[in-house]
């Protein structure tokens, strides 16, 4: 059994604001330490629960936040760019974990809420319904025949995930109080919870109780923060629309 862990940074244990997740932020070095810690806890729990391979995608920003030198043995790490592919290195995986995720753009009071880019994207709709990164990534994994078995992050991310995918196991490591604030679990408590939830997710997956989610065809509408130059798929000065058989193709506009 191979598990693919896509690690974002906003929902990682101990991360409480922008300064932890922006490369020039005062707390970024700590953020890098914390994402590596959650990845190691989750990966170790995967191995302990019976996985024989774990691939981790360093998925935040430029994809170079995880401290390679501190990874536990057995983990394979995908870092850096992968244009046009959401899950590079996912071949051969059996299930996906979305670690350290955040609520969709516009979620009131949610820590570091955004959808893919806080600078450029205001909203994304799939087939007329607002959707966040958790939902889109769950569908992109589903198109590869893979279920998303667990996600971790704040309370609002967990509620969004449960509403989208009733079968996913959620791991709430913090409670949002603001876009730039939250109540954090202690390191020991978040470690215990991440281990427990990873075990629960793998058990549920092995029992066939978490299945891939697929939506087709897909119409993706993206509303941008700024006006755009004329381009393919533009349906207003700040909106694009793409239709495809798969969510991943509609997302990339191909």
Among 3, 5, 8, 131, binds Zn ion (CB under 5 A): 8
Question: Does residue 221 belong to the site contacting Zn ion (CB under 5 A)?
Answer: no
Size of site (CB under 5 A) for Zn ion: 3
Name the one range near Zn ion by CB under 5 A: 42-50, 52-60, 211-219, 235-243.
Answer: 52-60
Question: Does residue 160 belong to the site contacting Zn ion (CB under 5 A)?
Answer: no
Name the one range near Zn ion by CB under 5 A: 59-67, 119-127, 181-189, 245-253.
Answer: 59-67
Tell me the per-residue interface mask from 60 to 99 with Zn ion, x by CB under 5 A, - otherwise.
Answer: x---------------------------------------
State in angstroms the smallest separation of the CB of 209 from Zn ion. Answer: 29
Three-state SS string over 133-192 comes to: HHHHHHHHHHHCCCCEEEEEEEHHHHHHHHHHCCCCEEEEEEEEEECCEEEECCHHHHHH
Name the one range near Zn ion by CB under 5 A: 9-17, 44-52, 119-127, 197-205.
Answer: 9-17
3-class state of residue 97 by DSSP: strand
State in angstroms the smallest separation of the CB of 253 from Zn ion. Answer: 21
State in angstroms the smallest separation of the CB of 133 from Zn ion. Answer: 8
Q: What residues contact residue 188 under an 8 Å CB cut-off, 6+ apart?
A: none
Q: What residues contact residue 29 under an 8 Å CB cut-off, 6+ apart?
A: none
Distances (CA, A) of 36 to 14, 30, 77, 134, 157: 12, 10, 11, 20, 20
């Amino acid at each position: 059994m191979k598990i693919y862990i896509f690690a974002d940074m906003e929902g990682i244990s101990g991360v409480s604001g922008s300064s932890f997740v922006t490369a020039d932020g005062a707390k970024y070095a700590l953020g890098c330490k914390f994402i590596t810690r959650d990845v190691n806890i989750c990966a170790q729990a995967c191995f302990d629960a019976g996985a024989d391979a774990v691939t981790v995608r360093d998925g935040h920003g430029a994809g170079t936040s995880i401290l390679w030198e501190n990874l536990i043995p057995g983990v394979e790490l995908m870092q850096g760019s992968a244009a046009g592919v959401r899950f590079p290195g996912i071949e051969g995986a059996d299930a996906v974990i979305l670690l350290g995720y955040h609520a969709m753009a516009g979620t009131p009071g949610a820590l570091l809420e955004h959808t893919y880019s806080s600078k450029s994207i205001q909203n994304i709709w799939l087939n007329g319904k607002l959707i966040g990164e958790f939902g889109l990534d769950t569908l992109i994994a589903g198109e590869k025949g893979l279920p998303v078995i667990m996600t971790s992050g704040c309370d609002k991310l967990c509620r969004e995930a449960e509403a989208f995918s009733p079968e996913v196991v959620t791991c709430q490591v913090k409670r949002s109080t603001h876009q730039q604030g939250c109540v954090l679990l202690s390191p020991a408590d978040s470690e215990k919870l991440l281990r427990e939830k990873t075990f629960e997710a793998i058990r549920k997956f092995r029992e066939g109780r978490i299945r891939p989610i697929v939506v087709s065809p897909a119409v993706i509408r993206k509303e941008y923060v700024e006006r755009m130059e004329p381009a393919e798929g533009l349906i207003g000065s700040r909106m694009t629309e793409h239709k495809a058989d798969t969510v991943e193709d509609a997302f990339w506009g191909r």
